[in-house]
């Protein structure tokens, strides 16, 4: 068992990361190796983590009987309520000793009570590889002096501090990256960009999608031209549409979204699980105009987040249409059910199915250095179904509504934030209520609620067959209300926005 408080062991682990080239870190694993590693990880955790040993006894599992991946796949699922919240925090860590970890982060609590997640420096290195893949393959930051501006909230929350640590590991590895940490303070971000960005070949903003869009829009409104800074974006935390990506890239002066943006799929529980690559973005861009092909791949016409992942770092499974993963961490997890709707597609399978539909995403990325093409499997993530609004038995998803707000005739007048609710018609006829935030300085006469309702309705009918067929035509049009930017009731600044309300 690795004792994270033993400096020599920590130093060896860190040195291995710093000295190992990315190509070797991401080399394709031999067939069956990921499965063998998952079984080995199970035995390590069953031996070293008191809470998991108790969990297995509770479910009548003898660890000595788990020998193959088929045995592994019969293990009970781990959940927050059934495992994490039933045991004292120290017992969830290796050796039952919290002091083996040197940091505790807090989850955002977007689905309930915030959770505590201990981790050690060595736990961050597998996540640093995901950042390295983005900065190397997408941004060529190994060759360009790069300013990394961390725009996630700072403090105990997991995103900001994790991002800072991983960017600094890359700097220690030799990447010419300089990190600055304004957090989610828009004015401070813009002040830093104006003063520091001209000193670098490129600038990377890392933060939540709607917040980064707000920063870019506010910069433009105050006379900031983003183009000279060769801006790049790293986002996390939300599914967004390709229309959103194209709109933001246009405003930020990003010529090629495939090599100028990357979304991370992560959780507070285990850090970053996967990341967008130029290849995954090229595939998603192609599918955005072909909902039926998307449906054949993902089971739904709406687009999920599509990322690639390293199966040796995070072993994914699918259970009843939702994702399960296993991996090391301050709190090691075996078959952890994260409740995200999604699935897994192998690299060869993905390319084969796209080829059958007449598309070669690798060829579409033809560049002199071929960065961004690695033979890693794909995981797709729709998010959690409870973020959808149920209306006449159809799930109405925020990302579909967002596309309606991203149309050219609407987008200049709104921020992209909204709140969606379903009214069941007890005191009024049933309807979808949509509160929309106007862009700063935009009055309610600049765009009509009726135009927004028509745009959103068109996308709901195009992309959501359940909505189109389940909802009576007379109740399909949403009722839109317009609100000023930063409205304290609907769009309070400085907090993580929720797109749905009950």
Domain harbouring 438, CATH code: 3.30.300.30
Domain membership of residue 255 (yes or no) is: no
Dihedral pair phi/psi, residue 422, rounded to 5°: -110, 120
pTM: 0.82
Residue 340 is given by DSSP the state E
CA-to-CA distance for 105 and 234, rounded, in angstroms? Answer: 21
Distance CA 146, CA 351 (A): 33
Does residue 41 lie within any of the structural domains?
A: yes
Element spanning 338, H or E: strand 333-345
Q: What is the pLDDT of residues 363-379, one digit of tens each?
A: 988 765 667 899 999 99
Question: How far is it, in rounded angstroms, from Cα 205 to Cα 139?
Answer: 12
What is residue 424's predicted lDDT score, i.e. its pLDDT? 65
Residue 171 lies in a domain: no
pLDDT digits (tens, 9 = 90+) for 93-131: 999 998 888 888 876 544 445 678 898 888 889 899 999
Q: Which residue has the higher pLDDT, 495 or 81?
A: 81
Say if 283 falls within a structural domain: no
Identify the domain boundary among 96, 127, 153.
96
* Structural domain includes residue 282: no
What mean pLDDT do residues 23-35 have? 92
pLDDT in tens, 328-345: 989 999 999 988 889 999
Cα–Cα distance measured from residue 191 to residue 182, given in angstroms and rounded to the nearest whole number:
10
Domain that holds residue 473: 389-483
Provide the residue count of the chain.
502
Contact between residue 277 and residue 133 where contact means Cβ atoms under 8 Å apart? yes
Residue 304 confidence class, pLDDT cut points 50, 70, 90: very high
Of 61, 96, 131, the residue at which a domain comes to its end is: 96
Strand partners, 104: 118
Reported as a pLDDT band with limits 50, 70 and 90, residue 37 is: very high
* Interatomic CA distance for residues 158 and 208, integer angstroms: 13
The count of domains in the chain is: 2
Whose tokens are 């929309």? That residue is 436
Mean pLDDT of the region 412-437? 84
In a domain, 2, yes or no: no
State the Cα–Cα distance between residues 412 and 485, nearest whole angstrom.
13
Neighbour-count burial for 208-246, b at 16+ CB within 10 Å, e otherwise = bbbbbbbbbbbbeeeebebeebbbbbbbbbbbbbbbbbb
Residue pointed to by tokens 């929720």: 498
The predicted-structure confidence for 379-397, as pLDDT tens digits, reads as follows: 999 865 557 787 876 788 8
Encode pLDDT of 177-206 as tens digits. 999 999 988 899 999 999 999 999 999 999
Contact 147, 197 (CB under 8 A): yes
Q: Which helix (H) or strand (E) holds 198?
A: none
* Residue at 336 is within a domain: no
d(CA 165, CA 272): 13
Domain boundary (46, 67, 96) is at 96
Rg (alpha carbons) of the chain, rounded to whole number? 23
On whether the CB atoms of residues 414 and 437 are closer than 8 A, the answer is yes
* Residue 267 included in any domain: no
């Amino acid at each position: 068992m690795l004792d994270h408080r033993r400096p020599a062991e920590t130093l060896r682990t860190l040195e291995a990361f710093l000295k190992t080239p990315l190509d070797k870190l991401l080399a394709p694993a031999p067939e069956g190796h990921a499965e063998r590693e998952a079984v080995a990880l199970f035995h390590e955790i069953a031996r070293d983590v008191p809470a998991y040993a108790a969990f297995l006894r509770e479910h009548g599992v003898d660890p000595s009987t788990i020998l193959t991946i088929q045995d592994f796949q019969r293990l009970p699922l781990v959940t927050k309520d059934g495992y994490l919240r039933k045991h004292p925090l120290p017992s969830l860590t290796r050796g039952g000793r919290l002091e083996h970890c040197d940091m505790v982060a807090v989850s955002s609590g977007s689905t309930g009570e915030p959770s505590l997640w201990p981790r050690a420096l060595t736990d961050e290195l597998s996540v640093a590889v995901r950042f390295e893949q983005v900065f190397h393959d997408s941004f060529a930051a190994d060759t360009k002096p790069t300013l990394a501006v961390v725009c996630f909230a700072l403090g105990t929350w997991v995103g900001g501090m994790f991002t800072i640590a991983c960017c600094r590991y890359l700097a220690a590895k030799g990447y010419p990256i300089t990190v600055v940490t304004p957090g989610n303070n828009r004015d401070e971000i813009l002040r830093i960009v104006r003063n520091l960005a001209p000193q670098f070949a490129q600038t990377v903003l890392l933060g939540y999608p709607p917040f980064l869009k707000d920063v870019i829009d506010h910069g433009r409104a105050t006379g900031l031209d983003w183009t000279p800074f060769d801006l790049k974006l790293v986002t996390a935390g939300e599914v967004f549409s390709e229309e959103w990506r194209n709109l933001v890239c246009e405003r930020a002066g990003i010529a090629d979204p495939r090599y100028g943006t990357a979304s991370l799929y992560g959780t507070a529980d285990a850090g970053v699980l996967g990341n967008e690559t130029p290849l995954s973005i090229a595939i998603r861009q192609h599918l955005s105009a072909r909902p039926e092909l998307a449906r054949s791949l993902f089971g739904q016409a709406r687009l999920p987040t599509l990322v690639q992942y390293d199966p040796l770092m995070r072993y994914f499974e699918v259970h009843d249409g939702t994702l399960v993963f296993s991996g090391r961490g301050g709190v090691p997890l075996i078959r952890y059910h994260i409740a995200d709707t999604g699935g897994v597609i192998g690299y060869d399978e993905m390319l084969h199915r796209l080829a059958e539909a007449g598309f070669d995403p690798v060829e579409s990325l033809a560049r002199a250095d071929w960065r961004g093409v690695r033979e890693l499997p794909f995981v797709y993530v729709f998010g959690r179904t409870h973020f959808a609004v149920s209306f006449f038995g159809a799930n109405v998803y925020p990302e579909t509504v967002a596309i309606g707000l991203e149309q050219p005739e609407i987008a200049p007048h709104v921020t992209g934030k909204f709140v969606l609710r379903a009214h069941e018609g007890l005191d009024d006829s049933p309807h979808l209520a949509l509160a929309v935030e106007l862009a700063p300085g935009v009055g309610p006469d600049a765009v009509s609620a009726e135009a927004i309702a028509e745009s959103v309705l068109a996308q709901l009918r195009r992309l959501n067959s359940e909505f189109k067929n389940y909802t009576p035509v007379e109740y399909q049009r949403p009722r839109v209300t317009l609100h000023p930017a930063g409205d304290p009731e609907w769009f309070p600044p400085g907090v993580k926005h929720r797109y749905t309300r009950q």
